Structure 1
């Protein structure tokens, strides 16, 4: 399996993410938030293939530097292991892989719980994946308490935790940026709207782990994304990040996939999900929200750059049971469905209370094939008829890898282990 793609070199391999669960724990008072994918302390097995791909990459020298963002002094990051009373990382969700120089890191949302308490709060965990272990399954959640950080906000004499969700990472030169959703439990859930949450932009750096566990990413700079970027907030009922990875374009724009919700009808809970982008120039001070894709009910976006013209391609999971793919050549100011190529090729699992699952979606280059051929790699869960049966099936499915040049599509096969939960 690995030998079939070992020659792939993928300069944008941080766009890969593994989805291992379709539902996650909910925090108290956040019933309206969409369920998260989580690893439930499972093995990060299906990341192995992509890690091998990434390890084949040469780490070119990058000299461009972004302007330093202004960090909000009221935000402070704290190691989970320093929490009074002890904290357990219950599960990891919305995982992604990030290549920093010659190092590869797994980055995920960490769902934490204080010992003896029931409420869940979230932070960010990161762990280096070493080259000598890249061909073996590894338990990323082992020792997660030593690798996770939580965010606190100081206001007057009060200190409160800020839940962060769906981390979306991108490299700009040597700098690590991450967009996260934020939520501070202050208002009653029924009175909460799009203006009560928002996004934070983080900047991190690789540092040595004091516990002797190798390198880790520590988040240093934290700033709010201006709410004015979202336009008329009354038309939106919420925003969450896409998770996984964003893109740095040639003009050094940082671009992130996001998911919004809008009112669909008059009923209180009659809402539709939409997929779109949010992006900022290199100064990270001004942000723009793109147009949404044409079809409502499409969620869990993942995005790549493709082709000589560097058009954007966004894959979404839609309510009609299909994976729709959209193209844009103007940073999401207009979208066209990629009919006849990738759109509607893949489907979603159907059934009662089934939640959408994000796809893994990256670009890569295969050396020595028609002058270093460019391809896209897609990972999605596949369910057999037996898996779909409530009585005899295990419901886990298998995580499959596909390779496509936007004309032909090849199913490489399963990249998950027998005991892994694909979705």
Structure 2
């Protein structure tokens, strides 16, 4: 009889477990299933919000894609056949040797009505008269190219380029020119960021009939542009 009572009153040490409550204090009790980790509501809501934002961004980007075609198209154009344009003066001249050809390149200040704008004039110098003084860029209007928007002949839509500096690499010509918006710097409303005031790097090539080669410039999207207002750090090589 005593043995049974002792057995009943014996502590059940093997059935006791230590459990930790939400307050961090340990408590003892009977067996229970281990608690499953649960995601915090704030973490769940944050994940859902991030997913919604990503979906909205993707939708907005897809919707804006068709509008990218409205970006103005800038290109170089010869003013040879444009009426009412005169070349008033030339400045910042230089010489370029491309292959066996030598070219004179200069800034051309042009005028149409009361609007003054600048372009780039270039002319090949033949070997026949290279050994004696000569006047180059005669009939300069035929040899001048300007940078304009959407093929418009409106002088107000032209991009002024000035003080050209050019180098030759094989058959390619690279020219660095200053460019600027006609409006005040604080209110300049240039439709394309790349044509606000700063520097423009242009690539050109030589083409034309034999003995009458010309330099053809083109605005190059693949080459870097330097905006003086935003890039004040010196370059290092």
User: Considering the TM-score relative to the shorter chain, is it more than 0.5?
Assistant: yes
Figure out how many residues of one structure are paired with residues of the other and give that number.
158
How big is the shift at 1:75? 1.3
Alpha-carbon distance, 1:181 to partner: 1.1
Shift, 1:184, TM fit: 2.8
Is residue 75–residue 222 contact of structure 1 (8 Å, CA) maintained in 2?
A: no
Tell me the distance in 2 between the aligned counterparts of 1:204 and 1:73: 21
* 1: CA distance, partners of 2:97 / 2:72: 28
- Deviation (angstroms), 1:182: 1.1
Equivalence for 1:184: 181
- Aligned-pair distance for 1:105? 0.3
Please point out which of 88, 91, 95 is paired with 1:90.
88
Please name the residue that 2:157 is paired with. Answer: 160
1:231 Cα shift? Answer: 7.9
Q: Which residue of 1 aligns with 2:76?
A: 77
Matched ranges for 1:18-37 at <5 A? none
> TM-score, length-normalised on structure 2?
0.57
State whether residues 107 and 124 of structure 1, in contact with CA within 8 Å, keep that contact through their aligned partners in structure 2.
yes
Residue 120 of structure 2 corresponds to which residue in structure 1? 124
- Indicate the residue corresponding to 1:136 in structure 2: 132
Residue 73 (structure 1) shift: 7.5
TM-score when scaled to structure 1? Answer: 0.33
**Consecutive unaligned residues in structure 2, runs of 5 or more:** 1-70
Structure 2 Cα separation of the partners of residues 289 and 215 of structure 1: 38
Q: CA deviation at 1:118?
A: 3.0
Structure 1 residue 142: deviation in Å?
1.1
Residues 1:217 and 1:230: Cα distance change in structure 2 (over 3 Å): same
1 CA distance for matches of 2:225 and 2:131? Answer: 42
Shift of 1:150: 0.7
In structure 2, the CA distance between the partners of 1:123 and 1:230, relative to structure 1 (3 Å rule), is closer
Deviation at 1:113, TM superposition (A): 1.2
* 1:215-240 deviation digits (Å, cap 9, x = unpaired): 1101134347445x75855xx6xxxx
C-alpha change, 1:204 and 1:73, in structure 2 (3 Å) is farther
Larger Rg: 2
Q: Is the 8 A contact 1:78 1:152 kept in 2?
A: yes
Say whether the 8 Å CA contact 2:200–2:225 is kept in structure 1. no
Tell me if structure 2 keeps the 8 A contact 1:161–1:184: no
4+ runs deviating over 3 angstroms: 189-192, 221-227, 229-233
Tell me, in whole angstroms, the C-alpha distance in 1 between the residues paired with 2:211 and 2:181.
31
Partner residue of 1:205?
A: 205
Instruction: Give the alignment of 1:352-367 within 5 angstroms.
Output: none
